[in-house]
Amino acid sequence: MIPETSPKCEINPEPFARAYPFVVLLLALAAAVLGSSLATAAEKAVPAKKAPPSGPALSLDGYLSQVETGNVDVSAAKAASEGAGLRVGEAALIYSPTLDAQAQWVRDKRQSPFLTYDRFVNDTFEVGVSQMTPWGLHGRVSYNLTQTGYIGLGKPIYYYGSPKIELSLDLWRNFFGAETRGGHDAVEAAALATKYGQSYQAKVSRAGAENAYIQLAAARELDAVNRDSFDRAQEIYDWNQRRARLNLSEDSDLYQAQANLEAMRLNVEASSDALRSASRAFNQARGVDSDDVNESLVLPDAKSAKTPERAEMRDDVRAAREQQRAAGANARIGREKNKPTLQLYGEYARNSQDIEKSDAIDHSFDGNQPTTAIGVRFSMPLAVGTSSDARAGYAKEAAAADALADRKVFDQEVEWKDLVQKLNEAKARLAVAEKLAEIQKKKALNERNRLKRGRTTTYQSLMFETDYNQAEYRRIQTQSEVLSLLAQMKTFGG
């Protein structure tokens, strides 16, 4: 007996058929919303395009003019240098004639046991001109007019007139004007050292500002290169993404393109930060507190730039030379001032005595009542050992200053030769870097077109793009190096 077959369980397809359009519509809406969200997220992740500078073109010379007025370091150093230059003539005051005058009115009512009077009168006026010579002779020409006498004695008050010449000559300390000339040289050299030192500081600050201009221009170029590279990386990624959706490429190509895109995104962020920092330094050098620079920059041609003319001595070396001279002068002063003093002096005067002032002045030049005096002055320190040690110490300080100044000259020559060599080498590298960048650009463009035609791999195209980016980096860096070296060489004067 054959068992009865169980009836089959059949499913009615009509409800599913009726629901299918609704499911399809729901999936389509979900896909659209998800795609829109992903697209929005992707757009937000794309680095914002930097608008090109909208302001006028600012040349390097124009920028440096702004630095001259806006940078306190430069303007203060220039003012200090000019001020010290005006003080150089102060040393000549040691040898210049000096006018001196004095007046005194005395009314003395003290009484004498031998005389009875009302008061003693002594009115004096003296004027003179003195001068120190470089060889140690000091001279003074003066005129003295005195009214003196006793009121209450019944005798007239007389006027005394006296023209006088005084001369003194140092025979030991300050022999032949050694200390006097040392004082002159010390004052003059100190002022010149300040003048040249501040002049060098102004040139260093100016070179720093010039380097800030160069660095900002280079940062803008690097940022533009990175953003262009990001755009190309985005194109390659989008192209590989479309091919992956159509199953026309391997997932590894898409991953490689995505990794390259993120690397370029990181480069853009880094160059954007560097650009902001360079802009801040650029504005700071011209006395502006801002991160924005709207002017477009015009760099000089690095390849055709010539080596700046240099002075025989850089200003800081000249300052060191003057410091050496000041140290030597102070050493001479120190040695001289600790020596015994032996001075020969002489005076010659003519005198008159008259009741009338005019007669006293007229007769004072007659020579009927001359006065002559010749003398010697001597003094010496008793701490002979201490004095000897002080003189030896000044001598050692002067020798040390000489050695440092000579070393400064040596360092200057070595640094200049090094800069000249580096400049020539950098110019040669720049020519090669520009040629390489042009070749790498052509190679990358060609490989990009081959990738679109499916004749090369994504990896190969990305490698060529990387080579092009690195070539552009080297070109910009080498160009900046050449211009920075030129700015540094300008500190040597000329």
Distance CA 31, CA 24 (A): 10
Task: Please indicate, yes or no, if residue 30 is contained in any of the structural domains.
Answer: no
Say if residue 174's pLDDT is above 80.
yes
Q: What is the mean pLDDT of residues 175-191?
A: 92
> Using 50, 70 and 90 to split pLDDT, how confident is the model at 185?
very high
Q: What is the mean pLDDT of residues 330-350?
A: 89
292 and 364 both lie in a single domain = no
333-338 contacts: CB < 8 A, separation 24 or more? 333/179, 333/182, 333/183, 333/186, 334/390, 334/391, 334/393, 334/394, 335/391, 335/394, 335/395, 336/173, 336/174, 336/175, 336/178, 336/179, 336/182, 337/173, 337/179, 338/381, 338/387, 338/388, 338/390, 338/391
- How does pLDDT run across 384-408, given as a tens digit for each residue? 778 788 878 888 888 888 888 888 8
> Using 50, 70 and 90 to split pLDDT, how confident is the model at 5?
very low
Q: What is the mean pLDDT of residues 301-308?
A: 84
User: What pLDDT sits at residue 7?
Assistant: 41
Taking residue 492's Cβ as centre, other Cβ atoms within 10 Å add up to 22
User: What pLDDT sits at residue 25?
Assistant: 39
CATH number at 410 reads 1.20.1600.10
296 and 147 both lie in a single domain = no
User: What pLDDT sits at residue 419?
Assistant: 94
Q: Higher-confidence residue: 42 or 288?
A: 288
- How does pLDDT run across 113-158, given as a tens digit for each residue? 777 888 889 999 999 999 999 988 999 999 999 999 988 888 889 9
309 and 428 both lie in a single domain = yes
Average pLDDT, the chain: 85
For the chain, what is the domain count? 2
Q: What percent of the chain has pLDDT over 70?
A: 89
Helix (H) or strand (E) holding 103: strand 98-108
394 and 448 both lie in a single domain = yes
286 and 357 both lie in a single domain = no
- How does pLDDT run across 342-380, given as a tens digit for each residue? 999 999 999 999 999 888 888 889 888 899 999 999 998
User: What pLDDT sits at residue 235?
Assistant: 87
Lowest mean pLDDT among 26-30, 158-162, 247-251: 26-30
User: What pLDDT sits at residue 39?
Assistant: 39
- How does pLDDT run across 66-83, given as a tens digit for each residue? 999 999 999 999 999 999
- Which CA distances in Å does 208 have to 57, 81, 144, 447? 21, 19, 63, 42
SS (HEC) of 393-409 = HHHHHHHHHHHHHHHHH
330 and 422 both lie in a single domain = yes
Q: What does the DSSP 8-state code read for residue 492?
A: G
Task: Please indicate, yes or no, if residue 3 is contained in any of the structural domains.
Answer: no
Task: Please indicate, yes or no, if residue 8 is contained in any of the structural domains.
Answer: no
Note down the domain range covering 448. Answer: 57-95+175-340+385-492
- How does pLDDT run across 227-279, given as a tens digit for each residue? 998 998 898 899 888 888 888 777 888 888 899 899 999 999 999 999 999 99
Contact 446, 405 (CB under 8 A): no
167 and 62 both lie in a single domain = no
Contact 236, 462 (CB under 8 A): yes
In the chain, count H helices and then E strands: 9, 9
Q: What is the mean pLDDT of residues 464-473?
A: 90
